[in-house]
Amino acid sequence: MSLRKVLSLTKAGYCRTVKLQTANIFRQNVWLLTATSPRFYSAENLDKTKDAKPTEKVEILGRLFPQAQINQDAQEIKKEQEKFEKENQEKAEENAKSWNRMKMGFAVFGGAMTVMGGIMIFEMGAPRLDDSGAVIEDEFSHMPVVLQYLRRAWKELTFYEKMIKEPSRELLLPDALPPPYQPTYTLVLEFTDVLVHPDWSYQTGWRFKKRPGVDQFLQTVANSDYEVVIFTTENAFMIWPVLDKLDPENKLIHYRLFRDSTHFIDGVHVKNLDGLNRDLSKVIVVDWNKQATKFHSQNTLVLKKWKGDDDDTSLLDLANLLQTIAMSNVTDVREVLTYYGQFDDPIAAFRDNQRRLLEQMEQRDAPEPPLTSSWLRTFTRR
């Protein structure tokens, strides 16, 4: 027998043996499955499964899908929806009632304003009467009656607006006194944050703190050929008592001007110096707000706003500056004020000028060295 044939027989026998072993292993596994799980593979268990009651199935489904819990959740969701819908309905009803009340309020307000407007037009637009009760004719008498009342009422309204925006009078100060009673220069001072600083609290209300050196300042300028005028943008009823305490004898402050003497322009109370009835070449305004004197910036000395610092000495230096102007008999103060107006702090600039002037005076008044010392310095080169 050839070797090839022997190998083929051996191979065929080996394959047959493997197939038999595989079949035996399969049978053993089937038997094991049948022995350990007869419920699934035996006929007896199949019959028992058919005869079993459906309660176990219901219990299993109940565990997986709890119907009672689902029904309870559904009921709660339904209750929440009903509650939400009820709340929305109540809100809608309340909004409707609020809107109706608002419309009624607008109607009542509109009616009241209409009635008040009619009464105002009737009162303000009525023609004026003389002492005997006769009608005084004016520029509107030839117009129809309704138009007459409207035009007169509008004229009255514009008059009150003019009172608010323009000064209460054309000339703010009386005519100057004859010499030598009239001071040469007029000093216009802002009161708030220049001479005093206002402070308010719940315990004390409004209080005014005096700036350091304010009493000495007023005495110095009042005795230095200056007419002192307080011109503030505050109301008179609040500032007048403070001025009485600052100058109880009315010897230092000659005149007092308040908000009613200003022009109200673009939300700012502006001081118009043309109404002072004084020569503007001799008028000096001291203020911290540039906008308050924008019509006459050349006459203004703008200081830094004082906020209550106890170490401030600006008023004393300002008094020296004003005293120097008066002693120098300056013809036009606007030249001096324009020079110091170019500095952010004109008082500091005046201090520097004073210091340099004193140094120059000391050098000028210093004695000259003797001639021998100058020769000795030349030879020794010292």
Q: How many domains does the chain have?
A: 2
Does residue 304 carry a pLDDT above 50?
yes
* Amino acid making up residue 132: S
* CA pseudo-torsion sign 139, 144, 145, 147: negative
Query: Given pLDDT bands bounded at 50, 70 and 90, which one contains residue 64?
Result: low
Interval 111-165: pLDDT, tens: 898 888 888 887 777 888 877 878 888 877 788 888 888 888 777 776 666 666 7
User: How far apart (Å, rounded) are the C-alpha atoms in residues 154 and 320?
Assistant: 53
Q: For residues 242 and 355, state if they share a domain.
A: yes
Q: Is residue 289 part of a domain?
A: yes
H or E stretch at 210? strand 205-210
Which pLDDT score is estimated for 46?
45
Over the chain, what is the mean pLDDT?
79
Mean pLDDT for 337-353 is: 92
Using the structure block, give the residue that is written with the tokens 């593979």: 41
Query: pLDDT class for 331, splitting at 50, 70, 90?
Result: very high
Same domain as 207, residue 147: no
pLDDT at residue 264 above 50? Answer: yes
Q: Is the pLDDT of residue 381 over 80?
A: no
- pLDDT value at residue 157: 72
Q: Can you give the residue range of the structural domain that contains 134?
A: 123-165
d(CA 205, CA 329): 45
More confident position, 13 or 338: 338
Same domain, 216 and 337: yes
Last residue within a domain, chosen from 131, 165, 199: 165
